Structure 1
Amino acid sequence: MNTESKIYIAGHRGLVGSAIMRYLQSNGYNNLVYRTRAELDLRKWDEVNQFFQAEKPEYVFLAAAKVGGIVANNTYPADFIRDNMLIQTNVIDASFQNDIKKLLFLGSTCIYPKFSPQPMKEEYLLTGVLEATNESYAIAKIAGIKMCESYNRQYGTNYISIMPTNLYGLNDNFDLENSHVLPALIRKFHEAKVNSEPAVEVWGTGNPRREFMYCDDLADAAVYLMNTYNGSELINVGVGKDIAIHQLAQLLKDTVGYKGEIIFNTSKPDGAPRKLVDITRLTELGWEAKTTLEEGLELTYESYLKELNKKNLVSK
């Protein structure tokens, strides 16, 4: 890509898509194309194909997806598999039909088996059963990876797939019903602080370990790989370190400045016991993350407070 290339960012309002757009804009890329969900329903083939025919993007970042935490995945499994299959199938095939130069597909580390050896290597894909709580989402993402591989093999396209670890940061989803653990805890600790509540409940034992990457680092990696990597082998994108949920909760408590207790509700599900990706392939390609977890949490909490202030101003 060069700064004049026409680049389509699918999902530009989400956590990942907005980070990619920020990165591209700040680095001089000035020919970006994007649409809101109201303007373009990626689940509808006719709309997607018409958009590609009209705009003719050269490069595509496929960051659009239906995402959510354990509650949402458990409650709406049909929605997660249907919507994600439709979105990625339509965008990938429209990219092929309209001769784009390159596509980057964003997956998720939930594609790996629940009891995968740690750290998780790319070759562990499809070697064991998935975590039941997000199986539908994971199967859709696996299909997207295989779709990119299949188009490359049959048609000689240049579609690459990257598997980011757990992401957080600006434009995260802080809805308690649908968010992931980190933004949900930020909101819980903040509201408990404001309301002087004596304790905050955290689901599960607190023992599972997770790896967290700041979204702007992911954007940096995505653009780097779009510009340097050409291959069908998927690439893990992470920081190479993980943390127990109880340690994360304490870090977030300190970041927010909450003084109460943390209570772990062990009747609630933990999810996979550990999720740490092997980033050997990524580091060999010459990229590594820059933002520490502590720095990222501070930036994320600041952005959460700014969004709250905006909402308060609007409501007044």
Structure 2
Amino acid sequence: MKVLVTGGSGLVGLSIQQVVEEERTGCEGEDWIFLSSKDANLTSLKETQDVFQKHQPTHVIHLAAMVGGLFKNLNRNLDFWRNNIHINDNVLQAAHEVGVVKVVSCLSTCIFPDKTTYPINETMIHNGPPHESNFGYAYAKRMLDVQNRLYFQQHGHCYTAVIPTNVFGPHDNFSIEEGHVLPGLIHKTYIAKKERKPLVVWGSGTPKRQFIYSLDLARLFLWVLREYPEVEPIILSVGEEDEVSIKEAAEAVVEALDFEGKVVYDTHKSDGQLKKTACNAKLRNYRPDFYFTPFKQALKETCDWFVTNYDTARK
């Protein structure tokens, strides 16, 4: 079993690498290769084919993507569409050409319809348009699900996808302008504390999200790769009862970083999608005893990592 991980230097890729190293006894007979953007430009079909021909993987975890937070998506929807369509098509085609047995790709809950009933589940991906703030990224990711089904239909390949909720953890992109909400909040709080200024949270704080710790997600990725038998995608998430508002998340960051200043909500900034509550019943049916790291514990570990690695962290 030779596993090639695209996007191996990102948040989830590094978390998978850490879990693989920690659980070596469960990885006997597995050879792991973690690719970064330095190894190949996956928007190029030739470079993608070359790197797959070089490594000849039997299994692939496909994480590589153009990603960003709400405001980066608002400004660059076309770029998100074009780059991710190219990356995904190239990776699946190159995998097919070298005879990869299984591909596990990474989607996102933002692919679900904006106007829908809650909680959302795996059957509802294509039931309507996604939120307009990131429809380029969302539609590109939806097409991965379409392609997985077509590769199975035409070639019998077991290409599938996972749908994590909001991922966070060490090695995240803590950019304030272009990162996701939680790492951006961590960075902003760190600076506000250092400069003795108020913490300004973008938006009203009312949207709700389910956050999953990157190390928990990494462990679930390994289970999907090794054991999950379906082409149909699966949501990887904490339960509905663990959903928190952005205000609650900001308060948890303030607590974790011992910030004692004033917190201000800038309601002139967009809130984005108000909720996208996901149902993890399918996951619980397969893995009823899986333990998720409590949110505040995982957040504290992430904040501590960021403070310790501030000079080298992505930001």
TM-score interval, normalised by the smaller of the two chains: over 0.9
Structure 2 residue 13 is the aligned partner of structure 1 residue 17: yes
Give the corresponding residue for 1:294: 296
Aligned ranges for residues 88-237 of structure 1 at < 5 Å?
88-197=88-197, 199-237=198-236
Give the corresponding residue for 2:306: 304
Cα distance, 1:289 vs structure 2: 4.0
Cα distance, 1:309 vs structure 2: 4.8
CA distance in 1, matches of 2:292, 2:283: 14
CA distance in 2, matches of 1:77, 1:310: 29
Where 1:308 maps in the other structure, the secondary structure is: coil
Cα distance, 1:107 vs structure 2: 0.4
CA distance in 2, matches of 1:208, 1:235: 24
Amino acid at match of 1:292: P
**CA RMSD of the aligned region, Å?**
1.3
Cα distance, 1:102 vs structure 2: 0.7
CA distance in 1, matches of 2:129, 2:156: 31
CA distance in 2, matches of 1:290, 1:268: 32
Cα distance, 1:229 vs structure 2: 1.1
Where 2:201 maps in the other structure, the secondary structure is: strand
Change over 3 Å in CA distance of 1:310–1:129 after alignment to 2: closer
Amino acid at match of 1:122: E
Where 1:105 maps in the other structure, the secondary structure is: strand
TM-score normalised to the size of structure 2? 0.94
Give the corresponding residue for 2:70: 70
Unpaired runs of at least 5, structure 2: none
CA distance in 2, matches of 1:301, 1:180: 15
Contact 2:13 2:34 in 1 (8 A): no
Contact 2:173 2:179 in 1 (8 A): yes
Contact 2:210 2:243 in 1 (8 A): yes
For these two proteins, the number of residue pairs brought into alignment is 306
Contact 2:9 2:35 in 1 (8 A): no
Contact 1:237 1:277 in 2 (8 A): no
Give the corresponding residue for 2:276: 275
Moved more, 120-129 or 61-70: 120-129
Contact 2:205 2:265 in 1 (8 A): yes
Where 2:154 maps in the other structure, the secondary structure is: helix
CA distance in 1, matches of 2:295, 2:262: 22
Contact 1:204 1:267 in 2 (8 A): yes
